[in-house]
Every structure is written in structure tokens, then in C-alpha cells.
Amino acid sequence: MERTLFESDHNAFRDAVRQFVKRHVVSEYDRWEAEGLVDRKLWHLAGESGFLGMAVPTEYGGGGEPDFRYNTVLVEEFARSGAASLSSGFGLHNDVVAPYLLELGTEEQKRRWLPGFCSGELVTAIAMTEPGAGSDLKAVRTTAVRDGDSYVLNGNKTFITNGIHSDIVIVVAKTDPSAGARGISLLVVERGMPGFERGRKLAKAGMHAQDTAELVFTDVRVPAANLLGEENRGFAYLMNNLPQERLSIAVVAVATSQAAFDWTVQYCRDRKAFGQQIGSFQNSRFKLAEMATEIDMAQVYLDRAILELNVGTLTPVDAAKLKWWTTELMKRTTDTCLQLHGGYGYMDEYPISRAWRDARIHTIFGGTTEIMKEIIGRDLGF
């Protein structure tokens, strides 16, 4: 099915991203996977290439293109090259953190942080999840107590994408613990603030090149000037921005599904068993037919959602539908593709092995499949 989402400028941008991946990612990615961290230099190279802060106005050093199709192209090309860890790390920076800084930041905050955001000098993260609070954001226990011109921040965060490299972290904290969700605020913590420490770099089942860490805040004095938006309105801000985060995850899911499918079609043509191509067996043909159909259907829904986000009409419910369906599709597709590869699919020399491992987290982070269904079910009146 021909895709009509992109225009000539997006296609030119895709060509540039593909060259970047070929030049700077392909030869290094296995090493990053082994080390559990991409080179910090890659962030600077991405900034120089115009791949960070595409939506940021040019006056702050960005691309001045608030068209999510550019974000889509970048994430798709990383995912299709088998570099899902980069899709997650760079996607979090561009697709998740950028809206908070652009929509909530004061003029002083924008001038302080956005140029570095766009150049790769400042890597960003957002710290929501805690050891005892994942999907239930109202249950966060990290506190920020106002003391003069500062907040005193205490708490622990875990599973934080870009946690090791991050230079500024948007921290979700309770500024009024008695108010539940109405007592949450967003504070920007900067590298080097006394009491801000990195915990473990976490070992994971997949996404090995994506640095994921624990963050510890012990009596960190965060200037009141680092409050993002208004005090105690953090939960509303989080709910407002989650649809774009979930859309970004869906982009990775569909792009990875398509890549896994393409690798598998080629493998089924090349590999022979019992004197014939394995793709010519009825079971293989039917599995490939099912995947081809489901991926095309998911792509149409995803592309529509991207256009809706661009004009501000993508609803949290539609984003939830998209997120759970595409990530479950990704999990199912990579598993089926690995099966069709047989024993070779379990070997790391074949990209399907890594894609299969990397797929598993996507039905969990950004809101689990179960939480997505809960959002949809409540919207139905139940």
C-alpha cells in the first residue's frame, strides 16, 4: 500500500537520516549494545545534523518545524536499522521532553536550555517512575518542599531513559503530598546539583544500548526558577503530553514490525527446506499474509494519528488505542518472524534476534497495554 503521509521535504530529511545511520550508527551499534550506552559524541553529531529539536523555534537553535512528521522519520529510520535503543533515547528527547520545555518553559528557561537541547550539549530525561509507582503516577513519593527561593527535593526514580547521559531531568514530585494528583509539580534538575546522583545503570532484557538508570535525589536544592509551569499542576501537564509520547512509541512499533517483516520475507525467499523456499509452504505464506495485512492496517491508523497530532485533535483515547494495538502487533510480529527464521532467528548475527528482544518493553513503558485498555473502557462509560 502506497504511503501518502510524507512530502518532498520529509523524504529529503529521511535521506539525510539514512546517511547518518550508515555513517555513524551501523558500525558502532554492536559495541554500544555490549557497553549498554551510546557514545556521547553521537548526541553532538545528531545536533550538528539537525536531528535534535526539530520543533524548537530557530531563535533557540532549533529547526523551527513543529511538524511531527520529521520526528516520525527520525524514529522510523533508527527503528528500521535495528537501532531501537536510539529510537527510544532520541525519541524521548525530541518527542517527550521537548513539548514540556516549549509549552511550559518561561522565556528565561527556554534561552537557558533549548540551545543545548538542540546542539546535543544537553541530553534530557523525564523522571516519573519510582520503585513503588509505575503506571499510577498519583502514587509518586518523591517530595519537593519549598524553602525560600528553592525546593528541597528528596526521592528515588527508576527505569529512567537517558538516565546516565542526562544533563537536565524533569522530575515529577509532590509539592503538596496531601492533595494527591493535585499536588504534583515538575522541577528541572540539572547535572551537578549537590545531592543529585546516578544510581545503577540498569541491565535489561533488551534495548541494551539505551542507557536506563536509577536516579537519587537527597536534599537537592532546586531553584524555584527551575519550576516548569505552575506549582501543583504537574499531573495535568503529564496527562496533556502523554498522547504524543504514546504516538512516538507507536511509530517505533510499526516501523519495527515492518522491518522485521521485510527481513523475514527475504529470509523466506533465500532459505530452502525440503527442496523449496520456506516461504512457499502454506503455513509460511499464511503467516506472512497475516503480518502484511496487519502492518498495513496499523500504518494507516498511525499516519492518520500523526496528522491529527499536527492539528491538535489527537485525543488521549485514540492515542491509547494506537499505543496498545501497535505495540502488541510489534511483539506478535517479531515473535512470528523469529519463528520463521528457525534456529537462526535466535542468533544475534540476525537482526530479528535483537528486534524480538527490544520489542518486549513496548507494551509496558509509556503506559501498559492494560492501562491503555482501562483508558478506553472508561471512555465507553464503564
Residue 152 · residue 220 · CB < 8 Å: yes
Residue 240 near residue 139, CB atoms below 8 Å: no
**Beta strands, E only, 224-304:** 227-228, 272-273, 276-277
The Cα 51–Cα 57 span in angstroms is 14
For the stretch 152-162, pLDDT in tens is: 999 999 999 99
b/e map 34-53, b = 16+ CB within 10 Å: eebbbeeebbebbbeebbbb
SS3 122: coil
At residue 151, the 3 state secondary structure works out as: strand
Transcribe 66-79 into DSSP letters: --HHHHHHHHHHHH
357: confidence class by pLDDT, cuts 50, 70, 90: very high
List 197, 245, 328, 370, catalytic entry: 245
The reply to whether 235-379 shares the fold of 125-232 is: no
Domains of the chain: which residue ranges? 8-122, 125-232, 235-379
pLDDT over 80 at 47, yes or no: yes
> pTM of the full predicted structure?
0.96
The domain 235-379 is placed in CATH, from the list 2.60.40.10, 1.10.240.10, 3.20.20.450, 1.20.140.10, at 1.20.140.10
Could you please report the per-residue DSSP string of 27-40? TTHHHHHHHTS--H
Distance CA 152, CA 148 (A): 10
What is the pLDDT at residue 12? 98
- Tell me the pairing of strands 143-147 and 272-273: unpaired
The CATH number of domain 8-122, selected from 3.65.10.10, 1.10.1380.10, 3.40.50.300, 1.10.540.10: 1.10.540.10
- Give 256-277 pLDDT, tens digit per residue: 999 999 999 999 999 999 999 9
The predicted pLDDT at position 373 comes to 98
pLDDT band at 249 (very low <50, low <70, confident <90, very high): very high
- Which CATH superfamily groups domain 125-232? Butyryl-CoA Dehydrogenase, subunit A, domain 2 (2.40.110.10)
Read off the pLDDT band of 1 (50, 70, 90). confident
Grid cell locating 335? 515473535
Q: Catalytic: 7?
A: no
Q: How far apart are CA 248 and CA 88, in angstroms?
A: 9
**What letter does residue 97 receive in the DSSP assignment?**
I
- How many Å apart are CA 252 and CA 256, to the nearest integer? 6
Distances (CA, A) of 364 to 112, 115, 369, 371: 33, 32, 7, 9
Is the confidence at residue 139, as pLDDT, over 90? no
Q: Residue 347 burial (CB < 10 Å; 0-12/13-18/19+)?
A: exposed
Each residue's pLDDT tens digit, 277-324: 999 999 999 999 999 999 999 999 999 999 999 999 999 999 999 999
Q: Distance between CA 300 and CA 332 in Å, rounded? A: 19
Q: Is residue 202 a contact partner of residue 187, using CB atoms and an 8 Å limit?
A: no
